Amino acid sequence: MPYRRLPNTDSARLKAMKSALNKGLELPPYKMSYSPKISVRLRQFLPLFEHTIQLQRQSIASQSRKSKEYNEAIRKARMYLTHFIRVMNMAVLRGDLPEEARAYFGLATNESVVPSLNTENELVSWGKRIIEGEEFRIKKGGSPITNPTIAVVKVRFENFLETYNHHKNLIKKTLDYAERTNDMRKEADDIILQIWNEVEEKHDILPEDIRKKESEEYGLVYFYRKNELKNIGSPETPSPVLQ
């Protein structure tokens, strides 16, 4: 006797439930092989589960599409901030600016290093310090640093902030959908298991070949073991696990 295998992917879960639902729609209630109670539960749950999966997939796709734009915004912001700090340090080295000018940017006055801008958090933190520091320094009567000016740096930084916040929102939305889908999988598996148990119980009196065929119409998936395949003289086929 072949054994059944419950679905283990969302696509397979949807297919199993849709098969059971469609089969139920073809028949009057008294001829269905699963109970009206589980039928109501299936009809209520399936659209919600499918919609949640679609939202999760759309969110993942949107995140993927936006990743190139996001990475470019990071690259530009990092490059302009780095260039600005280097130009400032060169001005100090030439004597155009005093060493104390570095303090406006939260930098050590006796060091000409560029701070780490490798992570998004570092980029956000240092970007705000550099922009606010230069604007304050100019208000105090200092000559503006040029090539790049702080106005140009600010444009690149604000573009990064916009994409950064959007990227964070996309990640949060994707995680929320993933968590919701994961919670719903438990109910999906419970519904499928109950339907399959009821269908098999209903078909229990039928001959094996007919029982298998009738049950498969409700979405049940069966597999033959290797020794059973040899006995029936059929080549073993790949496991039709749905992706």
Would the pLDDT of 232 be above 80? no
Residues in the chain: 243
Residue 183 reports pLDDT greater than 80: yes
Digit-coded pLDDT (tens) for 6-65: 999 999 999 999 999 999 999 988 899 999 999 999 999 999 999 999 999 999 999 889
Nearest alpha carbon to residue 137 among 91, 74, 93: 91
pLDDT band at 235 (very low <50, low <70, confident <90, very high): very low
pTM: 0.72
Q: Enumerate the domain spans of the chain.
A: 3-232
Q: What is the pLDDT of residues 86-121, one digit of tens each?
A: 999 999 999 999 999 999 999 999 999 999 999 999
Indicate the average pLDDT of the chain. Answer: 91
233: left (phi over 0), alpha (psi -120 to 50) or beta: left
With b for 16 or more beta-carbon neighbours within 10 A and e for fewer, the 123-134 pattern comes to bbebbebbbebb
